[in-house]
Amino acid sequence: MVEVTILGTSSMVPTKDRNVQAFYLEFEGEGMLFDCGEGTQRQMNIAGISRGKVRRIFITHWHGDHVAGIIGLIQTIGNSNYTDTLHIYGPPGTKEHMFHMMNATIFENKVDIDVHEVHPRFGEEFLVVDSEKYKVTCIPLDHSVPSLGYAWYEKERTRVDMAACKRLGLTEGPLIGKLSRGQPVTLEGKAIKPEDVTYRTAGKKIAIFGDTQPVPELIQLARDADLVICEATYNSDLEDKAAEFKHMTGAQAAMVAQRAEARKLILTHFSQRYLSVEQTLDEARAVFPNTEAAFDLMKITV
Ligand SMILES: [Zn+2]
Ligand SMILES: [Zn+2]
Protein backbone atom coordinates (compact mmCIF):
# COMPACT_ATOMS: atom_id res chain seq x y z
CA MET A 1 0.00 0.00 0.00
CA VAL A 2 1.31 3.41 -0.93
CA GLU A 3 -0.03 6.56 0.66
CA VAL A 4 0.31 9.97 -0.94
CA THR A 5 -0.34 13.17 1.01
CA ILE A 6 -0.64 16.37 -0.97
CA LEU A 7 0.98 19.08 1.12
CA GLY A 8 0.55 22.06 -1.18
CA THR A 9 -1.64 22.85 -4.17
CA SER A 10 -1.04 26.51 -5.07
CA SER A 11 1.21 27.79 -7.84
CA MET A 12 3.79 30.47 -7.13
CA VAL A 13 2.36 31.91 -3.89
CA PRO A 14 0.74 30.42 -0.84
CA THR A 15 -2.86 31.51 -0.31
CA LYS A 16 -5.10 31.38 2.76
CA ASP A 17 -6.29 27.90 1.76
CA ARG A 18 -3.42 26.52 -0.29
CA ASN A 19 0.28 26.15 0.40
CA VAL A 20 2.87 25.90 -2.37
CA GLN A 21 4.03 22.60 -3.88
CA ALA A 22 5.02 19.39 -2.09
CA PHE A 23 3.83 15.79 -2.22
CA TYR A 24 4.68 13.18 0.39
CA LEU A 25 4.72 9.51 -0.54
CA GLU A 26 5.09 6.80 2.09
CA PHE A 27 5.82 3.19 1.28
CA GLU A 28 6.65 0.56 3.91
CA GLY A 29 7.70 3.19 6.45
CA GLU A 30 9.99 5.13 4.08
CA GLY A 31 9.06 8.73 3.30
CA MET A 32 9.75 10.48 0.02
CA LEU A 33 9.05 14.09 -0.83
CA PHE A 34 8.41 15.29 -4.35
CA ASP A 35 9.24 19.01 -4.18
CA CYS A 36 9.42 20.91 -0.91
CA GLY A 37 8.00 24.41 -1.21
CA GLU A 38 8.08 26.98 1.56
CA GLY A 39 5.94 25.90 4.52
CA THR A 40 6.19 22.18 3.76
CA GLN A 41 7.44 21.43 7.28
CA ARG A 42 4.36 22.96 8.85
CA GLN A 43 2.07 21.17 6.44
CA MET A 44 3.74 17.91 7.48
CA ASN A 45 3.06 18.80 11.12
CA ILE A 46 -0.60 19.38 10.42
CA ALA A 47 -0.85 16.18 8.38
CA GLY A 48 0.77 14.21 11.22
CA ILE A 49 3.79 13.16 9.14
CA SER A 50 7.05 12.59 10.94
CA ARG A 51 9.72 14.65 9.13
CA GLY A 52 12.40 12.18 10.20
CA LYS A 53 10.86 9.56 7.88
CA VAL A 54 11.98 11.44 4.75
CA ARG A 55 14.85 9.59 3.10
CA ARG A 56 14.61 11.04 -0.41
CA ILE A 57 13.60 14.39 -1.90
CA PHE A 58 12.86 14.48 -5.63
CA ILE A 59 12.99 18.02 -7.02
CA THR A 60 11.06 18.66 -10.21
CA HIS A 61 12.62 22.09 -10.87
CA TRP A 62 14.23 24.99 -9.07
CA HIS A 63 11.41 27.55 -9.03
CA GLY A 64 10.94 28.82 -5.48
CA ASP A 65 7.40 27.50 -5.05
CA HIS A 66 8.83 23.98 -5.36
CA VAL A 67 12.06 24.15 -3.35
CA ALA A 68 12.16 27.02 -0.82
CA GLY A 69 11.32 24.71 2.10
CA ILE A 70 14.30 22.37 1.70
CA ILE A 71 16.74 24.27 3.90
CA GLY A 72 14.35 24.51 6.85
CA LEU A 73 13.58 20.81 6.62
CA ILE A 74 17.29 19.92 6.61
CA GLN A 75 17.91 22.10 9.67
CA THR A 76 15.01 20.53 11.55
CA ILE A 77 15.83 16.92 10.83
CA GLY A 78 19.49 17.65 11.65
CA ASN A 79 18.38 18.61 15.15
CA SER A 80 16.49 15.37 15.61
CA ASN A 81 18.12 11.95 15.84
CA TYR A 82 18.28 11.49 12.07
CA THR A 83 21.09 9.08 11.27
CA ASP A 84 20.29 8.12 7.65
CA THR A 85 21.57 9.68 4.46
CA LEU A 86 19.17 12.16 2.90
CA HIS A 87 19.21 11.70 -0.88
CA ILE A 88 18.25 14.71 -2.99
CA TYR A 89 17.57 14.27 -6.71
CA GLY A 90 17.00 17.02 -9.23
CA PRO A 91 17.52 18.35 -12.74
CA PRO A 92 20.71 19.98 -14.15
CA GLY A 93 21.87 22.74 -11.80
CA THR A 94 20.77 20.90 -8.65
CA LYS A 95 24.31 20.60 -7.19
CA GLU A 96 24.93 24.32 -7.55
CA HIS A 97 21.51 25.29 -6.18
CA MET A 98 21.97 22.95 -3.21
CA PHE A 99 25.39 24.48 -2.50
CA HIS A 100 23.86 27.97 -2.38
CA MET A 101 20.91 26.78 -0.36
CA MET A 102 23.13 25.15 2.26
CA ASN A 103 25.08 28.41 2.54
CA ALA A 104 22.08 30.74 2.59
CA THR A 105 21.68 30.63 6.38
CA ILE A 106 24.04 30.10 9.29
CA PHE A 107 23.69 26.66 10.80
CA GLU A 108 25.75 23.60 11.51
CA ASN A 109 24.67 20.86 9.12
CA LYS A 110 24.28 17.54 10.90
CA VAL A 111 22.63 15.62 8.06
CA ASP A 112 24.56 13.41 5.69
CA ILE A 113 23.28 14.67 2.34
CA ASP A 114 23.85 13.01 -1.02
CA VAL A 115 22.90 15.19 -3.98
CA HIS A 116 22.17 13.40 -7.26
CA GLU A 117 21.98 15.71 -10.26
CA VAL A 118 20.45 13.88 -13.21
CA HIS A 119 20.93 14.71 -16.87
CA PRO A 120 18.40 12.63 -18.81
CA ARG A 121 18.03 13.14 -22.55
CA PHE A 122 14.69 14.35 -23.94
CA GLY A 123 12.38 11.40 -24.50
CA GLU A 124 14.46 9.12 -22.28
CA GLU A 125 12.93 7.59 -19.16
CA PHE A 126 15.93 7.73 -16.86
CA LEU A 127 16.34 5.43 -13.85
CA VAL A 128 16.91 7.53 -10.72
CA VAL A 129 16.44 5.03 -7.87
CA ASP A 130 16.42 1.25 -8.06
CA SER A 131 15.78 -0.19 -4.62
CA GLU A 132 14.64 -3.65 -3.61
CA LYS A 133 10.90 -2.96 -3.60
CA TYR A 134 10.47 0.12 -5.78
CA LYS A 135 12.13 2.21 -8.45
CA VAL A 136 11.85 5.83 -9.52
CA THR A 137 12.40 7.16 -13.02
CA CYS A 138 12.28 10.64 -14.47
CA ILE A 139 11.86 12.30 -17.82
CA PRO A 140 12.60 15.91 -18.90
CA LEU A 141 9.53 18.08 -19.46
CA ASP A 142 9.19 21.51 -21.10
CA HIS A 143 9.02 24.47 -18.69
CA SER A 144 10.83 27.83 -18.58
CA VAL A 145 13.66 26.12 -16.62
CA PRO A 146 14.80 22.45 -16.62
CA SER A 147 11.88 20.50 -15.16
CA LEU A 148 11.38 16.79 -14.54
CA GLY A 149 8.44 14.45 -14.26
CA TYR A 150 8.90 11.44 -11.98
CA ALA A 151 7.34 7.98 -11.99
CA TRP A 152 7.35 5.87 -8.85
CA TYR A 153 6.97 2.12 -9.48
CA GLU A 154 6.33 -0.54 -6.90
CA LYS A 155 8.15 -3.64 -8.10
CA GLU A 156 6.24 -6.79 -8.97
CA ARG A 157 5.87 -8.80 -5.80
CA THR A 158 5.34 -12.39 -4.75
CA ARG A 159 2.17 -13.18 -2.82
CA VAL A 160 1.29 -16.36 -1.01
CA ASP A 161 -1.90 -18.19 -1.94
CA MET A 162 -3.07 -19.20 1.55
CA ALA A 163 -5.80 -21.49 0.18
CA ALA A 164 -3.17 -23.43 -1.79
CA CYS A 165 -1.03 -23.66 1.37
CA LYS A 166 -3.98 -25.04 3.31
CA ARG A 167 -4.69 -27.65 0.64
CA LEU A 168 -1.09 -28.89 0.97
CA GLY A 169 -1.34 -28.92 4.75
CA LEU A 170 1.17 -26.09 4.99
CA THR A 171 0.55 -24.07 8.14
CA GLU A 172 4.04 -23.31 9.42
CA GLY A 173 5.06 -19.65 9.12
CA PRO A 174 8.81 -20.25 8.53
CA LEU A 175 8.13 -22.70 5.68
CA ILE A 176 5.65 -20.30 4.05
CA GLY A 177 8.22 -17.52 4.49
CA LYS A 178 10.85 -19.59 2.65
CA LEU A 179 8.46 -20.33 -0.23
CA SER A 180 7.56 -16.62 -0.51
CA ARG A 181 11.30 -15.89 -0.87
CA GLY A 182 11.47 -18.37 -3.76
CA GLN A 183 12.99 -21.32 -1.89
CA PRO A 184 11.55 -24.88 -2.13
CA VAL A 185 10.69 -26.67 1.13
CA THR A 186 9.94 -30.22 2.22
CA LEU A 187 6.90 -31.06 4.33
CA GLU A 188 6.62 -34.59 5.72
CA GLY A 189 8.91 -35.89 3.00
CA LYS A 190 7.00 -34.12 0.21
CA ALA A 191 8.74 -31.41 -1.85
CA ILE A 192 6.82 -28.15 -2.31
CA LYS A 193 7.96 -25.68 -4.97
CA PRO A 194 7.44 -21.90 -4.56
CA GLU A 195 5.25 -21.80 -7.68
CA ASP A 196 2.86 -24.31 -6.05
CA VAL A 197 1.72 -21.76 -3.45
CA THR A 198 2.76 -18.29 -4.67
CA TYR A 199 1.80 -15.93 -7.48
CA ARG A 200 3.14 -12.61 -8.80
CA THR A 201 1.18 -9.36 -8.71
CA ALA A 202 1.94 -6.16 -10.57
CA GLY A 203 3.06 -3.23 -8.45
CA LYS A 204 1.47 0.21 -8.33
CA LYS A 205 2.63 3.15 -10.41
CA ILE A 206 2.39 6.85 -9.55
CA ALA A 207 3.40 9.68 -11.90
CA ILE A 208 4.16 13.12 -10.45
CA PHE A 209 4.93 15.91 -12.89
CA GLY A 210 6.81 19.15 -12.47
CA ASP A 211 5.62 22.34 -14.14
CA THR A 212 5.43 21.93 -17.89
CA GLN A 213 3.57 22.64 -21.04
CA PRO A 214 1.85 19.62 -22.57
CA VAL A 215 4.44 17.34 -24.19
CA PRO A 216 4.22 13.69 -25.36
CA GLU A 217 6.68 12.67 -22.61
CA LEU A 218 3.90 13.19 -20.07
CA ILE A 219 1.89 10.41 -21.70
CA GLN A 220 4.99 8.21 -21.80
CA LEU A 221 5.58 8.66 -18.07
CA ALA A 222 1.90 8.34 -17.09
CA ARG A 223 1.35 5.16 -19.16
CA ASP A 224 -0.93 2.78 -17.19
CA ALA A 225 -0.30 4.67 -13.93
CA ASP A 226 -2.64 4.06 -11.02
CA LEU A 227 -2.34 7.73 -10.08
CA VAL A 228 -1.20 10.79 -12.02
CA ILE A 229 -0.59 14.10 -10.26
CA CYS A 230 -0.42 16.91 -12.80
CA GLU A 231 -0.37 20.67 -12.76
CA ALA A 232 -3.50 22.50 -13.93
CA THR A 233 -2.50 26.11 -13.48
CA TYR A 234 -5.18 27.58 -15.76
CA ASN A 235 -8.69 27.06 -17.10
CA SER A 236 -9.18 26.45 -20.83
CA ASP A 237 -10.04 30.11 -21.60
CA LEU A 238 -6.44 30.97 -20.62
CA GLU A 239 -4.82 28.28 -22.76
CA ASP A 240 -2.76 30.98 -24.51
CA LYS A 241 -1.40 32.18 -21.17
CA ALA A 242 -0.62 28.57 -20.22
CA ALA A 243 1.41 28.19 -23.43
CA GLU A 244 3.16 31.55 -22.90
CA PHE A 245 4.32 30.61 -19.38
CA LYS A 246 4.80 26.92 -20.18
CA HIS A 247 2.06 25.61 -17.93
CA MET A 248 -1.05 23.48 -18.48
CA THR A 249 -4.83 23.68 -18.23
CA GLY A 250 -7.00 21.13 -16.44
CA ALA A 251 -8.33 19.84 -19.77
CA GLN A 252 -4.79 19.32 -21.09
CA ALA A 253 -3.88 17.36 -17.95
CA ALA A 254 -6.98 15.22 -18.48
CA MET A 255 -5.96 14.51 -22.09
CA VAL A 256 -2.63 13.18 -20.83
CA ALA A 257 -4.34 10.86 -18.32
CA GLN A 258 -6.80 9.67 -20.95
CA ARG A 259 -4.18 8.96 -23.61
CA ALA A 260 -1.91 7.28 -21.08
CA GLU A 261 -4.82 5.07 -19.96
CA ALA A 262 -4.12 6.05 -16.36
CA ARG A 263 -6.62 5.12 -13.66
CA LYS A 264 -6.88 8.33 -11.64
CA LEU A 265 -5.88 11.97 -12.12
CA ILE A 266 -5.31 14.59 -9.44
CA LEU A 267 -5.05 18.21 -10.54
CA THR A 268 -2.90 20.66 -8.59
CA HIS A 269 -0.73 23.83 -8.85
CA PHE A 270 -3.75 26.12 -9.24
CA SER A 271 -3.32 29.78 -10.08
CA GLN A 272 -4.21 32.06 -7.17
CA ARG A 273 -6.64 33.87 -9.48
CA TYR A 274 -9.16 31.04 -8.98
CA LEU A 275 -11.07 31.21 -5.72
CA SER A 276 -12.82 28.03 -6.81
CA VAL A 277 -11.32 25.34 -9.03
CA GLU A 278 -14.70 23.90 -9.99
CA GLN A 279 -14.42 25.01 -13.60
CA THR A 280 -10.92 23.54 -13.94
CA LEU A 281 -12.26 20.27 -12.57
CA ASP A 282 -15.36 20.27 -14.81
CA GLU A 283 -13.25 20.88 -17.92
CA ALA A 284 -10.95 18.02 -16.97
CA ARG A 285 -13.76 15.59 -16.09
CA ALA A 286 -15.33 16.15 -19.50
CA VAL A 287 -12.19 14.52 -20.93
CA PHE A 288 -11.18 12.12 -18.13
CA PRO A 289 -13.99 11.43 -15.64
CA ASN A 290 -11.89 9.97 -12.82
CA THR A 291 -10.31 13.33 -11.99
CA GLU A 292 -10.16 15.09 -8.61
CA ALA A 293 -8.96 18.57 -7.70
CA ALA A 294 -6.31 18.42 -5.01
CA PHE A 295 -6.72 20.27 -1.75
CA ASP A 296 -4.08 20.73 0.92
CA LEU A 297 -3.53 17.67 3.13
CA MET A 298 -5.54 15.43 0.77
CA LYS A 299 -4.57 11.76 1.24
CA ILE A 300 -4.77 9.16 -1.51
CA THR A 301 -4.15 5.49 -0.91
CA VAL A 302 -3.01 3.59 -3.98
ZN1 LIG B 1 5.35 26.06 -9.94
ZN1 LIG C 1 7.79 26.48 -12.36
* DSSP-assigned states of every residue in 52-121: GGEEEEE-S---HHHHTTHHHHHHHHHTTT--SEEEEEESTTHHHHHHHHHTSS-----SEEEEEE--PP
User: What span, in angstroms and rounded, lies between the C-alpha atoms of 284 and 267?
Assistant: 9
- The residues carrying an active-site annotation are 65
Per-residue pLDDT at 180: 86
Ligand 2 centroid – CA 155 distance (Å): 30
Per-residue pLDDT at 281: 98
User: What span, in angstroms and rounded, lies between the C-alpha atoms of 293 and 118?
Assistant: 30
230: part of which helix (H) or strand (E)? strand 227-231
For the entire predicted model, the pTM comes to 0.91
Per-residue pLDDT at 5: 98
Per-residue pLDDT at 90: 98
DSSP conformation class of 132: S
- Condensed to tens digits (0 to 9), the pLDDT of residues 220-253 reads 999 999 999 999 999 999 999 999 999 999 999 9
Per-residue pLDDT at 250: 98
Per-residue pLDDT at 273: 94
Per-residue pLDDT at 289: 98
**Backbone torsions φ then ψ of 142, nearest 5 degrees:** -130, 95
Per-residue pLDDT at 40: 98
Ligand 1 centroid – CA 127 distance (Å): 24
> Which residues, other chains included, contact 86 with Cβ-Cβ below 8 Å and sequence gap of 6+?
54, 55, 56, 57, 74, 77, 111, 112, 113, 114
**Residues of the chain scoring pLDDT < 50:** none
Per-residue pLDDT at 173: 82
Tell me how far the alpha carbon of residue 137 is from its chain's centroid: 10
Per-residue pLDDT at 170: 86
Residues 231 and 248 sit within 8 Å (Cβ to Cβ): yes
CATH class of this structure's domain 2-156+204-301: alpha beta
Per-residue pLDDT at 158: 84
Residues of the chain with CATH 3.60.15.10: 2-156+204-301
Ligand 2 centroid – CA 65 distance (Å): 7
Per-residue pLDDT at 171: 82
